[in-house]
Structure 1
Amino acid sequence: MKQRSEKIVERIIQEHKDQKKKKNNESATHEDFVDVLLKFQDRMTLEIFAAGSETSSSAVDWAMAEMIRNRRVMKKAQEEVRQVFNKKGKVDEAGISDLKYLKSVVKETLRLHPSAPLLLPRESINAWAIGRDPKYWTEPESFMPERFVDSNIDFKGNNFEYIPFGAGRRICPGISYGVLNIELPLAFLLYHFDWKLPYGLKHEDLDMTELFGVSVRRKDHLSVIPIAYDDLKINSQEG
Structure 2
Amino acid sequence: MISEYLTLNTSAEIICFVIAFICLIKDKSLAWRSMVLFLLITCITELTGIYIKKLYLADTVHVRPNIWIYNVLIIFQAGFTSLMFSHLLNKYINSKPIIIGGLAILFIMYVIEICIHGVFEKHNLTTTTMSVLFVLFSLFYFFQLNNDADYIVLKNSPAFWWVSGVLFFYFGRTACNIFYYKLSLVVVTPRHYLTYYIYNALNILLYACWSYSFICRKWLTTTSKSLY
TM-score by length of 2: 0.30
Instruction: Indicate the structure with greater helix content.
Output: 2
Instruction: Indicate the structure with greater strand content.
Output: 1
Find the structure with the greater CA-based Rg: 1
TM-score by length of 1: 0.29
